[in-house]
Structure 1
Amino acid sequence: MTSYAEELARDIRAGLSSGQKQIPSKYFYDERGSRLFEEICRLPEYYPTRTEMAILEEHAGAIMEPFTAGDLVEMGSGANWKICRLLDAAAQPHGAGIRYVPLDVSESALQAAAEELIRMYGGLEVLGIVADFTRNLDRIPDDADRLITLFGGTIGNFTDAEAAELLEGVSALMRRGDRFLIGMDTVKDTDLLEAAYNDARGITAAFNKNVLNVVNRELCATFDLDLFDHVAFYNETSDQIEMHLAARQAMAVEIAALDMVVEFENGETIHTEISRKFSRERAIRIFEDAGLAPQRWFTDENGWFSLVELVRR
């Protein structure tokens, strides 16, 4: 199995050698990046988390009602806010009868979240898996009924081809009785969308730039964060937010661990993230193409965000 270090090295070499330089957004989430994202989730401009949380608070009982025991799987786990809403609504108190199975590339974030949950829910069993869920779905146990979750509109961080591959992978591992709960951000007003990724306090900018800290630390690179600007905008043609880091001047960055020097022109960008927004019609097509069928659709009164319960067709 490829290690985190090997995967990072491969992704950075390929991404920074391409015509449009890029770094996969999964590398945002080291310990500092996870803390910054928790701050983002509390910002007034950032509607997705509070909207998804409100949906969970209203519908957690209905979501958990069929799930009396088994594995509660979280792909790309982070802060425990959302999982706690489901655990609080479980049939048995204190997490009894449930094994929480989080998958995350950050071992430190995974351990901290698991330890907190064990303190909060005395009957909960936790099986943390340090893994990239886009490549390691086969590591999810299959010895119990499963409620698999992918929160936060994470599916929007993937291209069409990547999203199709991921959803097909989840569909392939699901058995009769398993359910898949997925969060999806919706198409809405451009000003509202762009404000969510350009907050007044600059927390999203710090979060975006932190990916360069990861590369510096893990691959002995020489990125100067002060020489890059955070750029985020809504691409209406593709129905997606795009985040970039734009070079403020021409420069050369050494990545010693890769024996590599990366040249930047003034204004050249590193593409760090997309966040696609979905209409219901488009989402249904994507699900059906992957062999998944929507069972229930939970949304807020404004229609800003949706949680969709899926089963295998």
Structure 2
Amino acid sequence: MTNTFKEDVRKGLEQPQKTLPSKYFYDKKGDALFVEIMNLPEYYLTRCELEIFKNKTNALIKALQLKTNTHFELIELGAGDGLKTKHLLKALKDQHFNFEYIPIDISANALQLLQQDLNKTLPDIAVTPKQGDYFEVLASLKHNNNPKVILFLGSNIGNMEDAIAQQFIYNLGANLQKNDMLLLGVDLIKPEEIVLPAYNDSKGITAQFNLNILERINNELEANFNLDYFEHLPKYDAVKGIAESYILSTKAQTVTIKAMNATFDFDEGEKIHTEISRKYNDKLIHNVIANTDFTIEDKILDSKAYFADYILKRH
């Protein structure tokens, strides 16, 4: 991981528009901060999708076209703490479905905590955590012929540029068989006064989360970022439906990263792009799946119609 992290940081900071990959938000501290973010009053995304999983569980099960007499694999990409999924797992168990739950995550810490929790709360469920790259894990499962249901929740697809999201869904389909299902959770386009506070909460937790990537570089790559001279900068374009996060340099400064024997200069006001969070509507989802083998089978909304879980089927 360290070599990949180092090369990704080098590549990002050498760009004219400096960038750092959002996947590196998540270490032990980042995981804990994101759990805090999910509980913030401004962060509606988790609450809205959680409402769907709590109150419309049977609608999800019906839309996913599951059968009690057929064993299937329930595979979650980026499982995190499994907050929402546990409601679905419990309903599947109570209704005597025959399945194995396979959470995939880049964070070994998150997977360990999730398995410990499920062992206590839902001990009868078969759980097989897999740490690593989504597609490497899916490729290893591709040829076992078990029907598969993929969960990709939390509008994580929105962290990708549109062309990358299209390729991602295509690659997912390439690792699945005919009639496999994908539950794709997406945040819907809404006005700025609803969206922007979700990325700029009053307690500053999101700012800590964004800046944690610099702390990781300090700790793991022997850098000397002074976090007092960088700040969190969120933006949202309500017309395009795109939220973005940046780290802003508040002064002209030079940072040394010993592990790569390199220095990087920052101008006052210079930004490091860390995250995109695309919001969707039906037209955009159709564009994302246009060149794939998926079709939309159903769409389930929360009570405010802020968030949607699209049910897609591989043909």
TM tier relative to shorter chain: over 0.9
Q: Deviations over 1:277-296 (max 9, x none)?
A: 11111112212322210111
**Aligned residue in 1 for 2:105:** 104
**Aligned residue in 2 for 1:127:** 128
**Aligned residue in 1 for 2:42:** 45
**Aligned residue in 1 for 2:29:** 32
Per-residue deviation at 1:28?
0.8
1:59 and 2:61 matched:
no
Q: CA RMSD in A?
A: 1.8
Q: Distance in 1 between matches of 2:239 and 2:8?
A: 27
**How do 1:41-190 and structure 2 match up within 5 A?**
41-65=38-62, 66-68=66-68, 69-92=71-94, 97-133=98-134, 137-140=138-141, 142-143=143-144, 144-190=146-192
- Provide TM-score, normalisation by structure 1: 0.93
Q: Deviations over 1:24-80 (max 9, x none)?
A: 111111111111111111111111110011111122223235153321111111112
**Aligned residue in 1 for 2:228:** 226
Q: 1:246 aligns with which of 245, 248, 262?
A: 248
Q: Distance in 2 between matches of 1:114 and 1:96?
A: 20
**Secondary structure of 1:148's aligned partner:** strand
**Secondary structure of 1:79's aligned partner:** coil
**Secondary structure of 2:134's aligned partner:** coil
**C-alpha contact (below 8 Å) 2:74/2:102 kept by paired residues:** yes
**C-alpha contact (below 8 Å) 1:51/1:304 kept by paired residues:** yes
Q: Distance in 2 between matches of 1:238 and 1:212?
A: 29
**Secondary structure of 2:84's aligned partner:** helix
Q: Deviations over 1:197-237 (max 9, x none)?
A: 11111111111111112212221211121211111010245
**Secondary structure of 1:289's aligned partner:** coil
**Secondary structure of 1:20's aligned partner:** coil
Q: 1:211 aligns with which of 202, 210, 213?
A: 213
Q: Distance in 2 between matches of 1:307 and 1:215?
A: 35
Report the count of equivalent residues.
309
**Aligned residue in 2 for 1:257:** 259
- Of 210-219 and 243-252, deviating more is 210-219
- Provide TM-score, normalisation by structure 2: 0.93
**Secondary structure of 1:175's aligned partner:** coil
Per-residue deviation at 1:111?
1.2
1:5 and 2:2 matched:
yes
Q: Deviations over 1:222-254 (max 9, x none)?
A: 112121111101024542101000011111111
**C-alpha contact (below 8 Å) 1:245/1:272 kept by paired residues:** yes
Structure 1 residues 165 and 137, CA gap change in structure 2 (3 angstroms): farther
Q: Distance in 2 between matches of 1:104 and 1:76?
A: 5
Question: 1:243 corresponds to which letter in structure 2?
Answer: S
Structure 1 residues 216 and 142, CA gap change in structure 2 (3 angstroms): farther
Structure 1 residues 138 and 217, CA gap change in structure 2 (3 angstroms): farther
Identity %: 34
**C-alpha contact (below 8 Å) 2:191/2:238 kept by paired residues:** no
